[in-house]
Structure 1
Amino acid sequence: MPDRFPFLRLLAILLIASMAGLVVLQATQQAAAQERVERKSFLQLLFGGGNVKKSKPPTTTRTSRVKKPARSVKAAPPPEPAIEKLENAQKILVIGDFLANGTADGLSEAFEKSPGVVVIDRTNGSSGLVRDDYYNWFEQAPAIIEEVRPSIIVVQIGSNDRQQLLVNGKREAVRSVNWLAEYSRRTKQLIGILRTRNTPLLWVGLPAFKSPAMTTDIVALNGIYRKLAELAGGEFIDIWDGFVDEEGKFIFTGSDINGQQVRLRGSDGINLTSAGKRKIAFYVEKSARRLLGDAATAGVAAFSSEDFPEIFMPPAPGESAAAITRTIPVAMTDPDLDGGSALLGDMPASASLIRSPRDIMVIDGILPEPPANRVDNYTWPRGNR
């Protein structure tokens, strides 16, 4: 019997097939969600491979770590005990401004291991010789000296003095004629006060500064200090070369007392670092040790008042001084080896009458005759000399 509804049968078959396809597609998507299969490339299809699953890293179980014994750290050596100063130690009195305060710190470090020397710091950082209304050194210095009774006085002042000075009721500009005259008078007055007891005076000069204008003024002040200190029998300590380069220009970094390159000045170009303070003290230390003698050594255990050396400063110009007699050095073992045959006091008078060619040329203006045949020998005919 012929099929009367072929179209409906075909439609039913297609509907069943599509439903079956949907079921298969849904199952495939679920399987893909559970395990993603990597699609093979063309090369993998030709040569195989590509289906190797990556193995999961093995799970590690946490185990307790065994603590290693801590390394033994060496303890830092204990600081050296401070050297106890003697009751009758020689006193170095330091006065002046903020630079002098740094010098006092450097000197304290320099004589730290010297029981026979103690450094007394009586500085005032903002003081000077101009603003005596702020701090009057002319009134304060005598009381300080009477209290301390120092063996040596160290002065460093002037860094705050670059300002107008009142002279006869009129304010004078820095380094004007009247300013320099009044400042010199005040410097001389202070030196006179410090030298009342004939105490050795070490006047420390000022270093260069970053400001060229300030450095120029400091050069003028150092000239005043040097002249007046030496006229009064004191000693001027020149530190200038230690804080400038070969061309005389200001430097931040330079050599310390051991020759190492270090920072000497602060960022403002005025203040000093610890190395800079110690360097200034190094200049002063040499003169102080020369004056103190054995009292400045580190091995002094005890001293009586009679054991301290007598500190001597050269007399000021105009003061009477013993005549100094000079003679040729004589060896104590064999005088004949060095041209001498007698000790001091027994030198033949004829030795001082021998005049060298230099003395003849400088004193008398007579040149020695040139050797024969030399270019400056104008004798004619040649050969007569």
Structure 2
Amino acid sequence: MRVTASRLPRVLRLCSAALALLLVLPAGAHYPGVAHAQQAGERQTGGGILRFLFQRSEPPRRDRVVAPPPGAEAPRRANPTVRRTQPGPVAAPAEPAVEKAENAKRVLVVGDFLAGGMADGLEVAFEQNPNVLVVNRSNGSSGLVRDDYYDWPGSVGSMIEMENPSAVVVMIGSNDRQQMRIDGNREPPRTEAWTAEYERRATALVKAIRDRNLPLIWVGNLPFRPGAMSSDMIAFNDLYRRIVTDAGGEFVDVWDGFVDETGAFAANGPDMNGQPAQLRSSDGINVTRQGRRKIAFYVEKPLNRLLDLGTDASGVARLGPDSELLGAPSVEEAAPAIIDRTAPMALDDVSADAASGLLGALVQPAGGEAHTAAEKLSREGVGPEATPGRADDFQIRRQKAPAQPDPGKTSAVTR
């Protein structure tokens, strides 16, 4: 190739650039990524440095696609792996609700929000018993103090006439730690005037129920996380117990089921089956589902007894103290023997088993000479002689003095 004078400066500049590029290439050889990119570029464009220097235009290369021979199968793609998850445990089907009988005994529940929770627990307890229907007529924010909001002594009578219950269950007092308006004055809780008026209202509520000859179960209040609130609940429970007992009702104390071993408030504890569970909510006032069921558990037994249901909450028949067992053989009652008097008895009388005396009689030793060691010990008080060297040998025996040697005899050897 002949280079003209006009193109000589351009060729020199290209040579200088090529030398500079050659100096850079060894440094890039240390980096696999750069070398790989350069090799890939050379494969695609071809020529490398010669093409860069002389700018030869060549058509781009096209990779030849080799068609598979006729009859050959195309490669198959591997099927994606499908992971099969294990099915979770199948939940047990819920028991169908038992339809209540037309003549089912209705249990009326009245009170505040705790009474509403107890009613939920009673509904679960008697859901399989067609002979008991729980009627929840509680009012969550009510109490005996705010009679302007809800007057329980004045409202329970019409409620009983409407529902026609067979028993009434009351749980109230959790909202009563507040001032009470008495004769136009606001009295602080648990003062003398406040306590007298509160007792009058509780007595009026009990009287409105008992005057209709209905069984009454009054459930005591629960402990709460605030200590002052629990102290007031203890005072309320003592007042309820006295009023209800005097009126012929039954007071159910549930306090011990919601405290720990020291008597303090406990959010967790055993449920009705004895298993550990959370009984109270995080606020320390409301009750969880397990707690509501536990309150109902305390009410089931007295409610069954007052209503004479004959079955427990699950519908299983109860056996009373005078109940007859199925299949038990009948025992004919024999006529009692008429005993006029008891004959006198001595300690040496012969008993029915042909013994020679009663167990309490003193045994006299038989006469005659004692022959055995036992007879000598019992009659004469003389024990057997101890065998020398035995553990019970306590006799002191003197050892014999050593024999004196004969002076006429000697063991010396004369040499």
TM-score tier by shorter-chain length is 0.5 to 0.7
**Offset, 1:155:** 0.1
Cα-to-partner distance string for 1:209-262 (whole Å, 9 max, x where unaligned)? 111111111111101100010111100000010111122111111111111221
Q: Does the alignment pair 1:65 with 2:59?
A: no
TM-score (norm 1): 0.63
Q: Does the alignment pair 1:286 with 2:306?
A: no
Q: Give the match for residue 128 of structure 1.
A: 143
Match of 2:173 among 158, 179, 188: 158
**Offset, 1:201:** 0.4
Q: Give the match for residue 90 of structure 1.
A: 105
**Offset, 1:27:** 6.2
Q: Give the match for residue 100 of structure 1.
A: 115
CA contact (8 A) 1:97 1:159 kept: yes
Q: Give the match for residue 367 of structure 1.
A: none
Q: Give the match for residue 189 of structure 1.
A: 204
Give, as a single letter, the amino acid of the residue that structure 2 aligns with 1:293: L
The 2-side partners of 1:82 and 1:254 are apart by: 29
TM-score (norm 2): 0.59
Match of 1:215 among 209, 226, 230: 230
**Offset, 1:165:** 1.7
Q: Give the match for residue 245 of structure 1.
A: 260
Instruction: Describe the SS at the equivalent of 1:293.
Output: coil
The 2-side partners of 1:94 and 1:264 are apart by: 21
CA contact (8 A) 1:117 1:296 kept: no
Q: Does the alignment pair 1:144 with 2:162?
A: no
The 2-side partners of 1:130 and 1:342 are apart by: 64
The 1-side partners of 2:190 and 2:30 are apart by: 95
- Output the aligned Cα RMSD: 3.6
Instruction: Describe the SS at the equivalent of 1:142.
Output: helix
The 2-side partners of 1:124 and 1:208 are apart by: 20
The 3 A distance-change label for structure 1 pair 240 and 175 is same
Q: Give the match for residue 205 of structure 1.
A: 220
**Offset, 1:268:** 1.6
Cα-to-partner distance string for 1:181-209 (whole Å, 9 max, x where unaligned)? 11111111110001122111000000111
The 1-side partners of 2:230 and 2:17 are apart by: 101
**Offset, 1:139:** 2.1
The 3 A distance-change label for structure 1 pair 171 and 247 is same
The 2-side partners of 1:193 and 1:252 are apart by: 35
The 2-side partners of 1:229 and 1:159 are apart by: 18
CA contact (8 A) 1:90 1:295 kept: no
The 2-side partners of 1:230 and 1:69 are apart by: 68
CA contact (8 A) 2:300 2:312 kept: no
The 3 A distance-change label for structure 1 pair 115 and 27 is same
The 1-side partners of 2:335 and 2:216 are apart by: 38
Match of 2:22 among 20, 28, 34: 28
Q: Give the match for residue 384 of structure 2.
A: none
Cα-to-partner distance string for 1:304-356 (whole Å, 9 max, x where unaligned)? xxxxxxxxxxxxxxxxxxxxxxxxxxxx8599xxxxx988xx999x9xxxxxx
The 2-side partners of 1:67 and 1:347 are apart by: 95
**Offset, 1:137:** 1.1
Give, as a single letter, the amino acid of the residue that structure 1 aligns with 2:288: T
Which deviates the most, 100-109 or 72-81?
Answer: 72-81
CA contact (8 A) 1:116 1:297 kept: no
CA contact (8 A) 1:108 1:119 kept: yes
Q: Does the alignment pair 1:167 with 2:153?
A: no
**Offset, 1:166:** 2.2
CA contact (8 A) 2:300 2:313 kept: no
The 1-side partners of 2:338 and 2:159 are apart by: 50
* Structure showing greater relative contact order (alpha-carbon pairs closer than 8 Å, 6 or more residues apart): 1
Instruction: Describe the SS at the equivalent of 1:284.
Output: helix
CA contact (8 A) 2:125 2:313 kept: no
CA contact (8 A) 1:111 1:118 kept: yes
| Count of residue pairs brought into register by the alignment | 275
The 2-side partners of 1:150 and 1:114 are apart by: 16
**Offset, 1:70:** 5.3
CA contact (8 A) 1:243 1:254 kept: yes
**Offset, 1:263:** 1.3
The 3 A distance-change label for structure 1 pair 347 and 102 is farther
Instruction: Describe the SS at the equivalent of 2:277.
Output: strand
CA contact (8 A) 1:154 1:202 kept: yes
CA contact (8 A) 1:91 1:150 kept: yes
The 2-side partners of 1:143 and 1:29 are apart by: 109
The 1-side partners of 2:315 and 2:176 are apart by: 42
Q: What runs of 5+ residues in structure 2 fail to find an aligned partner?
A: 1-12, 32-74, 317-329, 342-415
Q: Give the match for residue 361 of structure 1.
A: none
**Offset, 1:29:** 3.7
